[in-house]
Each structure stands twice: as C-alpha cells, then as structure tokens.
Structure 1
Amino acid sequence: MIGDVKSILAGETKEKDDPTAKPLSLMGHKKSSTKRPETFKRPEKMHRELYNLIGNAETKEAGAVVPTEIRKGFRQLNAQLAGRPARKYKWVPFINEARNDNLQLYHWQRVDKLENPEPYPFAKFNKVINIPDFTDEEYEKYFKVAKWTLEETRHLFDVCRRFDIRWPIVHDRFDKEKYGQRSMEDLKDRFYAITNELALLKDPNCEPICFDADHERRRKEQLNKQWNRTKEQLEEEEMLLAELKRIEVRKREREKKAQDLQKLINMAEAPASPSVSGTCMSPALGKKKGTMRQKASSAAANSTTTFNFNPVDISVSAIRFPEFKSAGAHLRSQEMKLPTNIGQKKLKNIEVVLSKCKLDMNPMGTEAIVAAYNEFRSQIILLLELKSTLQTAEFELETLRNRMVEEGKEPFEIEPRMRISTVPENGLDPEEVTGDEGAPATTRRITACIDTSSSANPLLVRKRKLGTGSLDVTRTRRT
C-alpha cells in the first residue's frame, strides 16, 4: 500500500517537473488505436509439426500449401469482352496435304490470315509407311514360288500399301474370291520374306525382320485353348499351381537343411584334415617334410622338374546369379543381372563371346531363355578357367621338353589337344577334328574368342615362384 502511494506521488512530481508529461489517470490508459499486423493462423486439421516446417518463422506464410486466392474466382467475375472489336472469320475451302484424292474441305478461317494461308496443321500426323516395290525381273529371279503368283503378290503389296500394313484389315480386304483363302500368317510370311530379300539386295548388312509363321500359328492356337478353358479346368489349374508352390517351398527347405548339414560336416572334418598351405601342419606332414626335401634335392641333381597343377573348381568358377526367394513380384530380367564381384576380364570375355555368337546382350526374359542364357555365361567363365589351366599345362610341358632337348635327351611330342596357344582366331579347321586319340575334340571356335592374357608374364611369375637360379620345386611353410 505504501509503495502504491509512493508511485502515485512520484508520478505527480514527474508530471509537475515535466511540462510535456501527460496527465496521469487513475482509471488507466486507453487502448491504443493502432492495429496489430495480421498473422497467418494455422489452418484447421493441420498438424503443428507440419505448420512449423512451412513458411517463414515470423510471418508463417504457407506459400502454395493452402490456397491464397480469397475470392471465389471466375464465378463472380465477368468476362472483359468490351474494349476491342471482334475478329472476323470466313468459311473458306482448304487443301489437306496428307490426301491425294483432291478432296475439297472447308473450315472457318480468320480474315486477316487469308492472304498467307498456313498448311493444314494436322497433315504432319499422316505418317506413311514406305513399302518397297519390285519389278517383274526381280520377281522371276528372286521371289518366284509355287504357292504364289505374280498377280497375287502384287495384290498383297497393294493392299498393304493402302491400309498401312494393318494386318486385320489387310486380311479382311484381301481378294479371297479371286486368289483363294489365305490366313493372316501366310500373308505375313509372304510379305516379310519379300521385303527382307529386297532389303538384302540393297544393303547386305541390314538386319532382316524376323517372322516365324509356324510359331505364330502355335501361339494363336495356345491362346485359343487358354481362352476356351472351362471352369473345371481353371479350378484344376489353380489347384496344381498351389501344389507346385508347396512343392517348391518344401524343396527349398530340404536344400537349406542339406546345406546346414554340409556346413556342420565340413566344420567337423576341418581339424582332422587341415590344408597344406595353412598356418599349422599335422605331425604326419611334419614327418614327411624331410623326405620331400630329399626328393626335391635328388630331382635337382638329376636336372628333372616335378610339376604340380591345381584342378579347376567348377563351383567357384560358376557365376552366382541373384535369387529372389522373398515374396512379391519381380522382373525376370533381373535374374540375368551379373553379380558385382565379376572382374572386368571376365565381363570382357562374356561380351566378346556373345558378340561372336551374334547373341543379344539383353534377351527377352522368359523362363527358358533366362535359364539358358545364365547357363551359357557360366559355361563361358568355366571355359575361361579351363583355357587358363590348359595354357599353364602347355607352358609346363614346353618347358620340360626344352629342358630335355638341352640335356641331349629325346624330346617327347606334345599332343594337339594340349596345344591351346596355336589355335587360330577363327578356331581350328574341321578337318583337324578327326576323333583320333590325342586330337582335339572340337574346333574350339569359342575358346579362340576368349582372352586369358594378364598383366604379368607367366614365365616371370614362374621364375619368381621357383627362384632365379634353378627350376627346383621346393615346399615352403608359413610361420
């Protein structure tokens, strides 16, 4: 209470001292007449977290999140048509450049554009298919067959040219009364056979259009059978598909159990049969160490060399393509994707072999094609490993043969099937594949396409392994 009195007295004293001071009212100051700036309120049903993320922190302007037009739009606005004169139009004829029958058409055109008429804007959408033509001499020389006459073939090409190779219309408009009944596959087969021959006559390197009439007939027959299935057949098919899924699930479970069992067997056998190149050796191998050194020294004294080859592990050489075991749909073409751990050397060899065999790098992803395509590429990698191993064996045999020549001994002959470095670029001559003992079994055309060259010279690698002084084989042990 005393503080309030002092503040009142202090206010009065200040008012007396300051002539510009306003009189103090005991009822309080009046509210200021200035309006507060309008702030953007959070819209209804909008979460607070979303509201804090949008707009400026001070103004909270939502931008394009909420409509900024407060008026009701064009419903309350009248069209501003006054102030300029209406344009004049005239009903005039025009020419459609896409037509060749001189048809006279009319449309409304602005008067100011009559002096410089523009081409018909829709004429550019008239795409005409260029169908080749042939002469009578070409027909007699290249296209004459017993089932088709010249007049019938020309009629087919005229109908195709008239209806832009729309085969249902071509088949319907084909003159069956004059030339007999022809199926759509027969018309397609005849048309594409002649167009391919004409294209090859003009350009021998062009790619022909592939059409298999027999395959098309079988496809339509299968579709008709599938369409004409009864309700009982559909139910039986669904039951068989469900049973097939259950069989596949049980098969995967058995394979998984077999893999787990094999892992346990390998883990149990690992201590009993350790690797020779491991960090530890069994006592039996330790006892044989001295004997092996004695054999190596005696081999060096007799100037003979023992060569050891490691067989190719097919399981390691094969490509592991991605497997989709989880539920859900996926593109079958993803099953053909090569894994990322394939080296550039193997990728290059796969591309070269596919190019030499004229195979597509990305074929149609059907089940049979995917399985065959993946198996073929795995065989390419396996063939690469086999060729590398055979080259190593050939090098070792050649080294041993040269050593025997230097020592004055009678050298042995290397069989032709062991010769891989002398295979020409296009493979062996078929006459060399005689089937005799020691002769190659195939022409090795795909093997000739595979490149096994590496950055390191095999002779230098061999010298580094065996030492520069001699070619004696020694066994080392890591400590």
Structure 2
Amino acid sequence: MSAADVRDMLDLPSKGQGPARPAPKRVKTEQPGKRLDGIHRELYALLSSTGAAGGAGAGHAGSPGALGGEGLMMHPISVIENRFKAKPNWKQKPTPWTWRKFTNEARTDGLELSHWVKGAPADDGEAVAAEYPFAKFNKQVDVPAYTDDEYDEVLQDVSWSRRETDYLFELCREYDLRWFVISDRYEYQAEDGEPRSVRILEDLKERYYSVCRRLMEHGRDKGHVEWSSRDLEVYNAMNFNKEKELMRKQYLERLLSRSPAEIQEEEHLIQEYRRLEEASQKMVTERAELLRLLEAPQTLKTFAQHHTSQGLAQLTSNLLAADKNRKRRAPDMATIQQLQLQQQQAAAQAQASTPHGQKKHHDDKHAAARGAALSKAEQAQNASVKRVAKRVPPGQEDAYGVSFHDKLVPGVFLRSTRISTLKPAIQSKVAGVMAELGIAPKLAMPTSKTCERYEAIQQAVATLLEAKKQADKLDGEIRVLRARKGE
C-alpha cells in the first residue's frame, strides 16, 4: 500500500494540493420518543411521522402503504393516560370542628340548641353562642293592626263581627297571607247572635283588603298628611273586586273544560278572522294607493331655489319656453260662430247708440281696435275654417276612411303596438279564454275599429274573470258555512 492510498483512505490532501476537504456531516437519526402506556401498538404507529416508531408491524418508513407513512395525513389524536386519585396527605393537620350552642333570632321562645361549627374552640374551653346564619331568611308579612276605637269608627260591617275579623287577621299573620292555606284552615265557630255564613276565598280577601284600605284612609284623614307615591301605589293595589274575581275564575273553568271539537272550531274561527283582517288591510292599502294616484302629485322639490331674483328669472324663462313649445288646440266651429255673433251684436249696438256726426269717427276707432285685438283670433279662425271646409259630411267619415285625432305621436309606429295590455297575471288568463273562443292573440288586420273592438273584448273578458273569482270565493264560503251548520 502506497502513501497515496493511505492519504486517500484518510481523506488527506495529496502532496502539492490545497487544504483537505471538509468531512461530510452526519445526519442525526431521530430517536423514537417514549412510548405511552395504555395505547395499542397500531394506534401508536399512527402517531409517528415515519410509521416505524411503533416497532414491529408498523410498516417500513416512507412506504405509502404503511400505517403512518408519508402518503397519509396525520391527524391529532387525544391520548388519555390512566391516572389514579392522589393519595391523601395523612401528615396534614386536620381542620378542627367545635360543638357550639346557638339561638335562633327568628324564634321568640328563646330555645337554645347546639351544632357543629368549623373552627377552634374558645380559649376558656366554653362554646360561644354565635349568630344563626339562617335567621335572615325569616321574612314576615306586615299585617296591619287596629284598635277598638278605629274598629268602631271605620271598620264595622254588617256581615262581619269583631271576633271573626280578629280571627281572620290572626290567620293572616300566622300563614303570611297565603290565601289558599288560610282558606283551608278557616274554621270559625260563630257564637250566639253572630251572623252565620260560609266564607269562600274571595270573601276573606275582600274583608282583609277593605279593612286595610279603610285604615290607610283613616290614618291619612286623622294625621292630615299627604300620601307618597309608594303609599298611593299600595292603596291602589289593595283594590279587590270580588265580582270580577269570581267572573275570571268562571271564564277560566270554561276555558279548561272545552272539548277537542270546540278547540278546533275556535282555532278555525281565529284563522278566518286573521284572513278577513288581512283582506281588509289589503283593501285599505289599495284604496289609499288609488286615492294617492287620483290626487294632485306632490312635488318633491323645495321652493328655496326660487326665493332669489336669479331663481325667479330662471323659472320665468322655463315657463316661457314651455309655453312656446306647447301646441294650442284650434277653436272648434261652435266657438268661431259664437265669436262672430258677439262681434255683429256689438257693432249693431254701437251703430244704434252713436249720433250721425260721430258715426264715421266711431267706426274708424272701432275698426282699428277690433283689428288690433282680434288679429290673432281671426288668423286662428281662418285656419280653422279652412280645415273645417275640407271635412267630409257628417256620418261619411267611415266610408272615406277619414279620422280625426286630438294629438298625433311623432314618428312611425304600428297600430297593433298601441293596444292596451293588462297585468301579467290577468293577461295570461285573458289570453287563455280568448284562445278558447278562437280569437288570435295578434290581429291580422289591425285597423282602428278592429283594435278598438279587440280592446273592448279584452276588458270584457277581464271583468268576467274577476266576477268568476268573486263568485268562487263566495261559493267556497257558503260551503264552509253549510259544513259547519251540518256538524
């Protein structure tokens, strides 16, 4: 073996060459992590990024078919380890409990009891009586009390004695105004001379609230003080009406004693009422919309722009331009004849009232004024007369095919395009009816008369369809009423 071979094996540069090339870096292989306990081998292989971390049976690293290989997408899997409850720390000092006496402030008999309380005992060894924590929940209703003078003045009642009233108020204090319990425990034994009657729950409420209201009124009148808002609210809340309460309970009993057929009929009536209410609301809306269309249109612009001189000048120019562009209708023959007759009558009256010496001078002035005032009217009259002279005799316009128009639309158009159309929903139904009648949707010869008759037929068919709709609606309502009556 030569020195060159040794240098080549040790990766040393040969003689006359530069520095030795760096050694290749070693790739660190990932050490498999600590295997978790309590998990299957196949599931642990899925957690590995190469698929070979789970040991045998997991497949070769990098193979597409192996579990957990590079061809599969890894999803996070929650692993729950088996953990047991921590052992108790027996060396910890236990919490002391003390047997203490206590008194309940809610009791009036002064009974003293004992219970276990968390904490160390007192220094002297004696248990200290502590405040009972549940005494704060003892809430009692403030039932008013009255004296003999107050009862004799304002609380007397024919159907209630003083003894029975005291018995009622004692039950109210004992059961905290729980009226169902009070009514169940009410067992008053009337003495001789007292009115005997069976008291129901409403009688007890009426007597109690009436006594409370009278006591409040008596205290206000006696002390001459004004009630606060809270006092007035309490006074109004104790206004008990026995008749209304009995009526309310009767209505509730009737409501709960309904049969399934009555409930179904009531639901049907409610649905019918809602339908009629919606129809009425829709009719009111349509009527308001129609009235809005019939009324004069309301401008959405303000008049602030016309308050200045520049705005007024612009408005005047716009009005003049609109007046020039407006086409004035020529006066008809009756207006021309009436105007000529008025002129002749005025000339005759002027000749009869003017003297012979001033006749010629008056005629000249009248002729000049008439010529100045009626120059435009005469021009319009002459043009109108010429047009009237060219007209055919009345009743023969159809024979000659002559028609007159109030206003002509500029441009060329087809007469069939001017036929009025209906709403899309109604138009389809009208087209179906006219197809049944054998009328083509498009006119072969749309003359003026043909188009006029076609529009009249459309309107008649639409009217008949609307009448049929209303008739079907009334027929359905009649059948429903007859079915209810038959049930």
- What TM-score do the two structures reach when normalised by structure 2? 0.41
Structure with higher Rg: it is 2
Instruction: Pick 1 or 2: higher relative contact order, CA cutoff 8 A, min separation 6.
Output: 1
